[in-house]
Amino acid sequence: MKIGQATIKDIARELNVSSSTVSRALKDYPGISDETKRKVKELAEKLNYRPNAIALSLRKSRSYTIGVIIPEVVHFFFSTVISGIEEVAYSRGYNVILTQTNEKLAREKSSIETMLSNQIDGFLVSYSKETEDFEHFSKLLDQGFPIVFFDRVPAIPNAINVMVDDYKGAFDAVTHLIHQGYERIAHLAGPKSLMISKERERGYRDALANHGMEINPEYIIECPVGTDDESQRITKDLFQNLEQKPDAFFANNDMAAVGAMLACKAMGLRIPEDVGIVGFSNWQFCSMIDPSLSSVAQPGFNMGAKATEILLDIIEKKIEASEIELPVTLDTELLVRKSSVRLKS
Amino acid sequence: MKIGQATIKDIARELNVSSSTVSRALKDYPGISDETKRKVKELAEKLNYRPNAIALSLRKSRSYTIGVIIPEVVHFFFSTVISGIEEVAYSRGYNVILTQTNEKLAREKSSIETMLSNQIDGFLVSYSKETEDFEHFSKLLDQGFPIVFFDRVPAIPNAINVMVDDYKGAFDAVTHLIHQGYERIAHLAGPKSLMISKERERGYRDALANHGMEINPEYIIECPVGTDDESQRITKDLFQNLEQKPDAFFANNDMAAVGAMLACKAMGLRIPEDVGIVGFSNWQFCSMIDPSLSSVAQPGFNMGAKATEILLDIIEKKIEASEIELPVTLDTELLVRKSSVRLKS
DNA sequence: TTGTAGGCGTTATCAT
DNA sequence: ATGATAACGCCTACAA
């Protein structure tokens, strides 16, 4: 036995047959005698033969590998998405190549190049915060290269976008706060540059309007960074500066919600009695903090799974990219916990 | 221009030279006229030529891809490790193929097979909870295949293991609890199958012994799953069944610590006054819960980065596997927060 | 039922 | 300074 992996040739030589015979025998092609098949398979087993996927890729111009480009792995939401991607890809026999952009456009571009060099069959992309021009994507789309965007999706022609219904998630959350009797609901908003932030704010506004409540611009504060520290500071400022103190917060994300909660507690306010809070994303810690944090759950795993299914269907030509109903929108779910419930039901 | 990617042949044909010339020109080999180089590069640029990494892999029997096998992506610690892996791999020109085992041995094995088929250059592994026999790894190690284990590392010959100093982390944590005057310190232990669990328990035991404190077997409870639900239940049972109630918990991980905290609060016990708690891993939520949770921080990013550096050094034969000082151990850091401090300093 | 030959894209080796 | 050829491992149309 030679060094390294056994190949079809090795088997062929040892059995005094041609490599085509071995190839066919291994795949149970018709027209190979049972005797030969048996011998080939036996030896393959013995030599621990393993097909060389690289050679196959070269031959078929297909790598059975998809590339995933995300801003950051260390982000609960994205890690759930990856998990969904990985599940579906694995079950359908695909590999997943992963790169994170760290929110850098340059890295996004270079990762794309590398992956294309590696003959990946398609992309799953959530683009970086720096990305404002989508030329590098639309060029590929125009060539018919399979790409599915998720969460952070571009407004360009032919893009297949998988996203959650941020508007409805926000609308539901604020409606819930209203039903709980909160009357001065503030919104800790996200960066205006992302569509998801705008959609959540729109949901907030519409929920208020829908109940005949006034929209107070002072109650809408942008939290560009999105950390709990930031929103703690912002919340404190808000209570100091405003005549009419808010009695509830709907936050663009859970970190911001936690910041608001900590700030309120520090000011001696009780949650949910004095102040109600709802976050967005349903990070793991929501159920672990005290009081537990109500939040709008985003189906990260499903989003990853769904995006991957669509991508693989396109790659395998089970569906035409053009016949997908766009955009693909997944439902959020409002998880009501203690931080926002003050009425007995 | 033909469909799909331009190849060296396309360039060669168009320029009426041989493909070898093109190949050499692109790589600035000596013995190619500047004129030719210029023309080749120009056309390559124009045709948007991109080398086919698959063909290269086949030729060189090297894929410049490493395989990462981890239990779960949705796990703060692992996601930081991945981040570190990805950073180093990217900067050194390697791709990262990722699979999660979901703690299943069967999946671990099949992922290995798939990756080997894909001719990856080496593995980074943190094995599943089901894995008790390391035959599938040692077989590869014996063949000289590069593998670096991290976090969950096996006790087998020749394995290169990158881990944190779990023993010292645990020792420090428990010592801190003792210094805070806690006297009946329980340990929510991890699955016995993992070395990290055993090391942490050893640190716990030695810290107690070191202060002349008795080790009560009833205070050491295994939490096989490691969720907060599980440890809530376990903590409640403990308080019901034991004559001598514990007054502190050192948990094998943060989730378990949170469970203990919630259970104690539910029983009306104050933290840290009545019960002190220290977790392990320093998940993001530690600073967000109330009271904030003391925890032993593991350098996840560094661990991923370090493991990758070693792996790539071995792959590139910059070092011999045998000359690495084993095991590679990274320091933990005890982050003292409110959950374990009841003495004025 | 089996073998032969060519090719996927690239590069190393040996000519010219 | 450049070309021809073979090889990496596999598959498949065609031949026998």
What DSSP letter does each residue of A164-221 carry, written as one string?
A: E-HHHHHHHHHHHHHHTT--SEEEEE--TTSHHHHHHHHHHHHHHHHTT----GGGEE
With distances taken from each CA to the C1' atom of nucleotide D6, the closest residue turns out to be B59
For residue A1, the model assigns a pLDDT of: 32
CB-based burial of residue A77 (10 Å sphere; 0-12 exposed, 13-18 middle, 19+ buried)? buried
Which residues of chain A lie closer than 8 angstroms to B5, CB-CB? Answer: 116
Per the domain annotation, does A3 fall within a domain?
A: no
Of B156, B171, B172, B160, nearest in space to B124 by CA: B160
Residues A81 and A148 in one domain: yes
Q: Is the Cβ–Cβ distance between B191 and B157 less than 8 Å?
A: no
What angle do helix axes B34-47 and B19-26 make, rounded to 10 degrees?
90
Q: Which residues pair with A311 in a beta bridge?
A: none
Per the domain annotation, does A281 fall within a domain?
A: yes
Cα of A284 to nearest chain B Cα, Å: 8
pLDDT digits (tens, 9 = 90+) for A92-127: 999 999 999 999 999 999 999 999 999 999 999 999
**How many inter-chain contacts (A to B, CB under 8 Å) are there?**
135
Cα of A53 to nearest chain B Cα, Å: 5
Residues A175 and A287 in one domain: yes
If one counts the domains in chain B, the total is: 3
For residue A31, the model assigns a pLDDT of: 83
Residues B118 and B239 in one domain: no
Residues A293 and A194 in one domain: yes
Residues A202 and A233 in one domain: yes
Which of A51, A63, A80 shows the shortest C-beta gap to B74?
A: A80
CATH number at residue A121: 3.40.50.2300
Residues A317 and A291 in one domain: no
Q: Is the Cβ–Cβ distance between B99 and A86 less than 8 Å?
A: yes
Q: Is the Cβ–Cβ distance between A281 and A254 less than 8 Å?
A: yes
**Other residues' Cβ atoms within 10 Å of the Cβ of residue B5:** 17
For residue B321, the model assigns a pLDDT of: 83
Å from A20 (CA) to D12 (C1')?
Answer: 9
User: From the centroid of its chain, how far is CA B29?
Assistant: 41
Residues B115 and B194 in one domain: no
Per the domain annotation, does B143 fall within a domain?
A: yes
**Separation between Cα atoms, residue A143 and residue A126, nearest integer Å:** 20
**Separation between Cα atoms, residue B161 and residue B8, nearest integer Å:** 42
Whether A61 sits with its Cβ under 7 A from any strand C atom: the answer reads: yes
Per the domain annotation, does A70 fall within a domain?
A: yes
One digit per residue, the tens of pLDDT, for chain A of length 345 reads 335 789 999 999 999 999 999 999 999 988 889 999 999 999 999 999 999 999 999 999 999 999 999 999 988 899 999 999 999 999 999 999 999 999 999 999 999 999 999 999 999 999 998 888 999 999 999 989 999 999 999 989 889 999 999 999 999 999 999 999 999 999 999 988 788 899 999 999 999 999 999 999 999 999 988 888 999 999 999 999 999 999 999 999 999 999 999 999 999 999 999 999 999 999 988 988 889 999 999 999 999 999 999 999 999 989 888 888 878 999 999 999 999 999 776
Per the listing, tokens 């590339």 go with A67
Residues A112 and A216 in one domain: no
For residue B135, the model assigns a pLDDT of: 95
Does A90 sit within 8 Å of B95, measured CB to CB?
Answer: no
Which of B100, B113, B258 shows the shortest C-beta gap to A288?
A: B258
Does B116 sit within 8 Å of A287, measured CB to CB?
Answer: no
Residues B289 and B217 in one domain: yes
Of A44, A23, A45, A21, nearest in space to A33 by CA: A21
**What does strand D contact on the protein, if contact means CB under 7 A?**
A 4-5, 7-9, 19-20, 23-24, 26-27, 51-52, 55-56, 58-59; B 16-21, 24, 30-33, 35-36, 55, 58-59, 61
Residues A256 and A314 in one domain: no
Q: For chain A, how big is the Rg over CA atoms in Å?
A: 27
**Separation between Cα atoms, residue A253 and residue A280, nearest integer Å:** 4
Residue of A nearest to B286 (CA): A285
Per the domain annotation, does A345 fall within a domain?
A: no
Per the domain annotation, does B1 fall within a domain?
A: no
For residue B2, the model assigns a pLDDT of: 39
**Separation between Cα atoms, residue A168 and residue A329, nearest integer Å:** 11
Helix (H, G, I), strand (E, B) or coil at A62: coil
Which of B52, B82, B265 shows the shortest C-beta gap to A119?
A: B52
**Other residues' Cβ atoms within 10 Å of the Cβ of residue A193:** 10
**Separation between Cα atoms, residue B47 and residue B41, nearest integer Å:** 10
**Separation between Cα atoms, residue A172 and residue A212, nearest integer Å:** 16
For residue A345, the model assigns a pLDDT of: 62
Residues A178 and A285 in one domain: yes
Does B96 sit within 8 Å of A99, measured CB to CB?
Answer: yes
Whether A28 sits with its Cβ under 7 A from any strand C atom: the answer reads: no
Cα of B135 to nearest chain A Cα, Å: 15
Query: Which strand (E) or helix (H) includes residue B78?
Result: helix B76-91
Helix (H, G, I), strand (E, B) or coil at B254: helix
**Separation between Cα atoms, residue A82 and residue A84, nearest integer Å:** 5
Start-to-end C-alpha separation, chain B? 76
For residue B345, the model assigns a pLDDT of: 62
Per the domain annotation, does B14 fall within a domain?
A: yes
Regions of chain B where pLDDT drops below 50: 1-2
Domain that holds residue A18: 8-51
Q: What is the pTM of this model?
A: 0.89
Å from B20 (CA) to C15 (C1')?
Answer: 13
For residue A339, the model assigns a pLDDT of: 97
Which of A86, A114, A265 shows the shortest C-beta gap to B95?
A: A114
- Closest nt to B34 (CA→C1')? D1
Does A79 sit within 8 Å of B75, measured CB to CB?
Answer: yes
Cα of A137 to nearest chain B Cα, Å: 15
Residues B217 and B307 in one domain: no
CATH number at residue B20: 1.10.260.40
Per the domain annotation, does A2 fall within a domain?
A: no
Residue of B nearest to A293 (CA): B289
- Closest nt to A29 (CA→C1')? C1
